[in-house]
Chain A
């Protein structure tokens, strides 16, 4: 396949794959609560995740190792356990939130409660993983995810002022509710810098057998895909600022979020929202369930691969077969999808140093990267964002919990 086509496909994957329940809910909350003021948090998250995705791809292309593989090898079992447990737990929570998102989309469409839809939604994800190949899962999910472009259409129809969007790129201190402001900021960063994204990406690069010839494609894909993807999150925030902030409506229930599209686009907007929520969460659910299986199988050296038949990689298949119904049970039990999402995102931000620093150590090791080790800019950017996000989360999470 030509390199340009690969890059184009990478951008489509970035756009279609970026939005999921986390960035949707946190961007909507940010726009409703603080207008355009928190766009900088999306930008910061996008820069950080673009660097991380590029690193995971470079590691796979140069060393032919996936991330868990290389970590286990480089750090030994003791130190590998920390990122394994942290990434595993956070991914499981985010998976539960995504299944809640699919179930909620089905509730919007049918009127039947999300608690009823959670298990069927998880079963549908499982069936696609059971039957599908890696290409189907990755490309199918992101192509369908293009429906989320509806938010850009919505923002344009609402005449979101470009000057305010640009001004929001610059971090500013909040004029009111500082605790909620910083909590929302770290939730946004947690939603953008979800570890499943770069862990999944590294497994994908190994499944697709990348070599050093892919380094250029990898860089372009990571930078452009994540930037365009982040653009969708900014559009969600802009819609929320124009529809909810001006009316003084806070997002405290997911049921308020369809307004973002039904206000500018009417009845069609409502259905576009339902499709966006359902498809985006379904796609993310596929990737996270698969990534959990990759993580465990690669960490312990089991046979793995979405292109193998289930019985050829039994333990690998068992991981997602168990994770999906368990994650659905969180919604069946009645955990509010919006709360679940926001808490998962804040915890993701809190765990960033544990999930990200081991990758940075690997990326600076010539034994794995040869002459392609990290430059100081990517090291500094990723380290700064993850440490700051963790510290802010450490302060903001208790404040938020006390407040609500």
Chain B
């Protein structure tokens, strides 16, 4: 499998079929001279690290724990196809932190939401 092409930047889908972000990063684990995928990373400041290290470090200091990404262990990756299907509940992960915040504090307060 080509990780860069088939996994990185793919749409991540949770157990309920909801879009929960993109696969923003991949965690590799080195064992001797072999590397294996330990986890996929969704959200947080991961994207910023790929764009600009200085900016990412600054954001991490500002946000503290709020900027922590969601790590999904490789064994919870169900299927890799058009999307990457994950065996997690998006609602319960930090990847949905902003979605929840916007829903509870902004959109959810408008009548008819």
Binding site for B on A (CB under 8 A): 63-65, 69, 72-73, 76-78, 80-81, 130-131, 300-304, 309-311, 314-315, 317-318, 321, 367
Contacts and interface: CB of A to CB of B under 8 A. Distances in A.
Nearest to A80: B9
A187 B94 CA distance: 46
Interface string B37-61: 0000010000100110000000000
11 contacts: A64-B82, A65-B82, A77-B47, A78-B51, A300-B22, A303-B18, A314-B100, A314-B107, A318-B102, A318-B106, A321-B106
Contacts of B98: 315
Given A78-B50, A314-B99, A314-B107, A301 B21 contact: yes
Contacts of B110: 130, 310
Contacts of A73: 9-11
Contacts of A321: 106-107
For A311, A317, A321, A367, the residue with the greatest tally of chain B CB atoms inside 10 Å of its CB is A311
Nearest to A304: B19
B30 to A, nearest CB: 23
B113 interface: yes
Nearest to A308: B18
Given A63-B82, A314-B103, A302 B51 contact: no
B8 interface: yes
Contacts, number: 69
Contacts of B24: 77
A77 B103 contact: no
Contacts of A302: 19, 21, 99
Contacts of B103: 311, 314
A314 B50 contact: no
B11 A77 contact: no
A119 B90 CA distance: 36
Given A73-B9, A77-B9, A310-B110, A303 B99 contact: yes
A63 B10 CA distance: 13
Contacts of B4: 76
Nearest to B105: A314
A69 B42 CA distance: 16
Nearest to B101: A314
Contacts of A65: 82
Contacts of B11: 69, 73, 301
Contacts of B9: 72-73, 76-77, 80
Given A63-B82, A72-B22, A310-B112, A301 B12 contact: yes
For B47, B102, B106, the residue with the greatest tally of chain A CB atoms inside 10 Å of its CB is B102
A306 B11 CA distance: 18
Contacts of A315: 98-99, 102
Nearest to A367: B5
A76 B8 contact: yes
A94 B12 CA distance: 32
Contacts of B108: 311, 314
Nearest to A63: B82
Contacts of B107: 310-311, 314, 317-318, 321
Contacts of B18: 303
B93 to A, nearest CB: 13
Contacts of B113: 309-311, 317
B20 interface: yes
Nearest to B108: A311
A296 to B, nearest CB: 12
A301 B10 CA distance: 8
Given A310-B110, A314-B99, A314-B107, 9 more contacts: A69-B11, A72-B22, A78-B51, A80-B9, A300-B21, A301-B12, A303-B18, A310-B112, A311-B113
Interface string B7-29: 01111100000111110100000
B112 A130 contact: yes
Interface in B48-83: 50-51, 82
B16 to A, nearest CB: 11
A301 B42 CA distance: 10
Contacts of B22: 72, 300-301
A128 B9 CA distance: 33
B19 A131 contact: no
